[in-house]
Amino acid sequence: MTIHERDIDKLCVLARLALDEGERKHAHDDLTRIIHMIDSLASVATESVEPLAHPLDATQRMRADEVTERVERDAFQRIAPSVRDGLYLVPRVVE
Amino acid sequence: MNPFATVTELADGIRAGQFSSVELTRYYLERIERLDARFNSFITVTAERALAQAAAADARYRAGTSTPLTGVPIAHKDIFCTNGVRTSCGSKMLDNFIAPYDATAVARLDAAGIVTLGKTNMDEFAMGSSCETSFYGPVRNPWDPARVPGGSSGGSAAALAAGLTPAATGTDTGGSIRQPAAFSGICGLKPTYGSVSRYGMVAFASSLDQGGPMARSVADIALLLDAMAGFDAKDSTSAINGHDGKAAAATAARPKPMKIGLPTEYLAMLTDPAFARVFDEARRVLESLGHTLVEVSLPHTAAAVPTYYVIASAEASTNLSRYDGVRYGHRCEAPVDLTDLYERSRSEGFGREVKRRILTGTYALSVGYFDAYYLKAQRVRRLIRDDFVAAFGSVDALLAPTAPGVAFPIGQISDPVEMYQQDVFTVPASLAGVPALALPCGFHEGLPVGTQLIGPHLSESQLLALGADYQRATDWHRRTPPRVE
């Protein structure tokens, strides 16, 4: 499949990345080559083959509905960029 | 003291009273201080913590509660969370991240009494095959400092090769333990998917990520694996009946004669005759030990690299969405609104290769492309896994090259697709989730060459027994770089 420069802009929005013009051009060149490489998968016959998500075909375990973890808010917030009164601070979202 | 001694020899030395763990730890810390400017293999050295652990280890010997690893130093790849110590993952994004807890693998090795020297350099977020993408600068190969040590666990591999640590941890998503082991002339094991807990290991591609040991000998790998592996309720994909914990015992005895497969498709890719001869010598040694070698086919080998880069990039783009500049990690200055906070924090915090993979993964998962790429890759992944399962119906293990060549010069490969082809022999076992042991098998143009033994799911003990058999008959793993004193 062909990737256009406007596709890179859309991917940047989806991935929350702000690239400058030079970076966008590099990204376009790189992705063109990478997508060409992964497009070769189309030639592999996979009719009636189920997708594999876990190599040992394991499924999610269940556990007893018991409290096992302690709340470590203070420890985790010590490494946060900006907190006050136990809350993470971000730019104003609602006026 | 011999900086290139094995874990087993060092533990014997402590036990016999030749030196204490504190003396041994000081010895390696001094070497790191004196020599590592040449290799850049460490991001953080934890001298104080190491000496406190070493003193505790010496006390365990006096109290009679030591294990085969007590008092021996190790270096952890900087992807494993270490409580109270920076865990950067080689990224500016986590340069300020002091982990608030220990990874399970780290906690288990700590419980065995091992001593943590520090955290090793790596490709940013483990995305790379050369250790050139680290925020902390490239790692240099002790066999030739103008060359890469391989990646992404290249700091661990280089530290071992330079005699700066006798043991290390690494992680392998598509070859990140095995390829640097090959380039640096040391041993490394990618265990069966789910054998070593992923808890506290910074996530890259969760259906592939697997931690494992790196060391000088297969016997050391076995000791480290027995301590690291095992079920962990904190990892949702941890194998419930995983590693049997008997690898060390298995490597002590000769294995029964095995039938070993040589993948035809891999042999066809060895185009340099001189390089192929080094690999062929490993086959001859195994035959001389009484094992039988036969050619087998893994028909979907050519699809492995594209399959891997779809799945790994898709899972990486999802995993790395957590870096938002809000809860931890890099945050941009003076964001004007929430979108600006996200976009600038991520754009400043991530390097070029990481952004490339996030964009590739975002593309593969986006509306209209999901079926053609991610779902398609998951279907091909089943075919690749089934190739291995079918091969192990007729052979006990596979013998394969680890990398298509020897360590390449720093800066030589700039095309991402060319770099991804470095993983051609390692990604198939990653996709199949089977264990693979990389070990040195000779030299080409003065640089180490690695081979790998690949086994069925959860066959680590048998695989390591075969590797130890090979190492009793060869001394490639005891060679050291010529210009490292």
Query: Which of B236, B342, B382 lies closest to A50 in CB terms?
Result: B382
Q: What is the pTM of this model?
A: 0.98
Identify the residue whose tokens are 């990690």: B329
Helix (H) or strand (E) holding B461: helix B460-473
Query: Residue B408 CB: number of other CB atoms within 10 A?
Result: 19
List, edge to edge, every strand of the sheet that includes B73-77.
B42-45, B115-120, B73-77, B167-172, B210-215, B187-190, B436-444, B447-454, B397-401, B259-263, B292-296
Q: Would you call B256 a catalytic residue per the annotation? A: no
**pLDDT score for A57:** 86
Q: Are strands B115-120 and B73-77 parallel, antiparallel or unpaired?
A: parallel
**What sections of A1-95 are H helices per DSSP?**
5-15, 21-38, 73-77
Backbone angles phi, psi at B250, to 5 degrees: -65, -35
Which of A 68-87 lie inside 8 A of B, CB atoms?
Answer: 72, 75-76, 78-82
Q: Is position A10 within any domain?
A: yes
* Cβ-based burial of B359 (10 A; exposed 0-12, middle 13-18, buried ≥19): buried
Q: Are strands B436-444 and B187-190 parallel, antiparallel or unpaired?
A: antiparallel
Q: Token pair of B446, please?
A: 């003065």
Q: Would you call B376 a catalytic residue per the annotation? A: no
**pLDDT score for B85:** 98
Q: Is position A15 within any domain?
A: yes
Q: Is position A19 within any domain?
A: yes
What number of C-beta contacts closer than 8 Å exist between A and B? 177
Prediction ipTM score: 0.96
Question: Splitting chain A (95 residues) into consecutive groups of 10 residues, what average pLDDT does each group show?
Answer: 92 96 95 96 96 90 89 92 96 87
Q: Cβ distance B441 to B282 under 8 Å? A: yes
Contact B335 A79 (CB under 8 A): no
Q: Assess B416–A contact: CB distance below 8 Å, yes or no.
A: yes
Q: Is position A57 within any domain?
A: no
Alpha-carbon distance B342 to B220, whole Å?
44
Q: Is position A72 within any domain?
A: no
Q: Which of B316, B312, B313, B334 shows the shortest CA–CA distance to B325? A: B334
Q: How far is A59 from chain B (nearest CA, A)?
A: 8
**pLDDT score for B362:** 97
Which of B 104-163 lie inside 8 A of A, CB atoms?
Answer: none
Helix (H) or strand (E) holding B317: helix B304-319
Q: Is position A79 within any domain?
A: no
Distances from the Cα of B340 to the Cα of B75, B329, B331, B353, angstroms = 38, 16, 11, 22
Comma-separated ranges of CATH 3.90.1300.10 domains in chain B: 7-258+453-478
Q: Token pair of B395, please?
A: 């052979």
In B203-276 the beta strands, taken as DSSP E runs, fall at 210-215, 259-263
Alpha-carbon distance B13 to B21, whole Å?
9
Contact B350 A17 (CB under 8 A): yes
**pLDDT score for B89:** 98
Q: For B343-354, b where at least 16 C-beta lie within 10 A, e where not — what string?
A: bbbbbebbbebb
What is the count of structural domains for chain A?
1
Alpha-carbon distance B140 to B145, whole Å?
5
Contact B306 A40 (CB under 8 A): yes
- Structural domain including A38 reads 5-43
**pLDDT score for A95:** 76
- Taking the CA atoms of residue B134, residue B137, residue B139 and residue B145 in that order, the dihedral angle to the nearest 10 degrees is 150
Question: Splitting chain B (485 residues) into consecutive groups of 10 residues, what average pLDDT does each group show?
Answer: 97 98 98 98 98 98 98 98 98 97 98 98 97 98 98 98 98 98 98 98 98 98 98 94 94 97 97 94 98 98 98 98 97 97 98 97 94 96 98 98 97 94 96 98 97 98 98 98 93
Query: Which of B355, B417, B457 lies closest to A37 in CB terms?
Result: B417
Instruction: State in words which class domain B7-258+453-478 has.
Output: alpha beta
Q: Would you call B461 a catalytic residue per the annotation? A: no
